[in-house]
Structure 1
């Protein structure tokens, strides 16, 4: 139950950040061109969207951090496995588990260093340039995203250890659509 909630929350955060950043960028670009229209100038000149670029940058950074954890969970990260596929089963399993544990260790270290940085930043008055929100909120994605990614590495490692199955992404799969393979050619005389 907890994992399903975490999975959905992760997906909602990623989709919401991506959608909102795209919408804000679209509105900003349209505003930039419409303000040059003489009839609309008196109305649109007073709308200040200078903060939008900074907000979109922060939203994409947060989206990328949570998207990396999503990538580990679903197996969509790029990996070079030409040599790993040539190993025998015992060695392959050991190398894959080592890689997954290495990823978990690395993201745990980044998360811990990020948490320390954010904690120290909380005791300062630093704010972002345009939005003027506390800087620790902006940098909060580092420990949150890194710890989530560490959890996902451990989750994949645990599953692989017991089932020998890694998550893999099928680019041809679309949720809700069932693919029916074409019928095999019928030989002469069969019907």
Structure 2
């Protein structure tokens, strides 16, 4: 029986895989759960004629979480909506300066939005507000914003370091 001389290599590989696919796993899970819950509600409402009170609310909140975590995935894969007339027309050093300016501006937006959303969540948590149908604390729902924006900030830093946006064909150097 042979043992792996580097047992941590499998753990390291698993961690790297999870890091690379974290948002994709979350978004796929959220959308799958979203679909299952809505199908359940359609069945309950139109077949059994006994609609459940919580699926619409649950689906709405899950869609919010999907959007914020999905924004981080869009940053990671360079698939966010953008206007690329300047990067398309620029050449040389200006392309790189523009790339850095755009990413740093987006990171600043994410960080400022995260700061204010955390403040808002504290106020909601202190108010004790709960959702009407499910009775869950609303701060959990609103936590999608700072979590998604923080993930987007981290993925933007990763993009700047690795040049993933360059590999995706954005900010091509035409000089």
Q: Normalising by structure 1, report the TM-score.
A: 0.75
Larger relative contact order, structure 1 or 2 (CA cutoff 8 Å, min sep 6): 2
**Match among 89, 92, 99 for residue 86 of structure 1:** 89
The aligned residue for residue 126 of structure 1 is: 129
| Runs of 4+ displaced beyond 4 Å | none
CA distance in 2, matches of 1:149, 1:88: 27
Query: Match for residue 50 of structure 1?
Result: 53
* 1:14 aligned onto 2:27: yes
1:168 maps to 168
Shift of 1:67: 0.4
- Whether contact under 8 Å (1:75, 1:166) holds in the other structure is no
Query: Of residues 36, 40, 51 in structure 2, which corresponds to 1:23?
Result: 36
- Write the distance in 1 (CA, Å) between the matches of 2:18 and 2:92: 34
SS at structure 2 position matched to 1:123: helix
Contact 1:101 1:157 in 2 (8 A): no
Equivalent residue number for residue 155 of structure 1: 158
User: 2: CA distance between counterparts of 1:23 and 1:152?
Assistant: 30
More helix by share: 2
Counterpart-to-counterpart distance in 1, 2:75 and 2:94: 22
How much does 1:26 deviate?
1.1
Q: Which residue matches 1:111?
A: 114
| Number of corresponding residues | 156
Contact in 1 for aligned 2:45/2:52 (Cα 8 Å): no
The match for 1:98 is 101
Query: Shift in Å at residue 49 of structure 1?
Result: 1.0
Q: What are structure 2's unaligned runs of at least 5 residues?
A: 1-11, 170-175
Flag the structure with larger Rg: 1
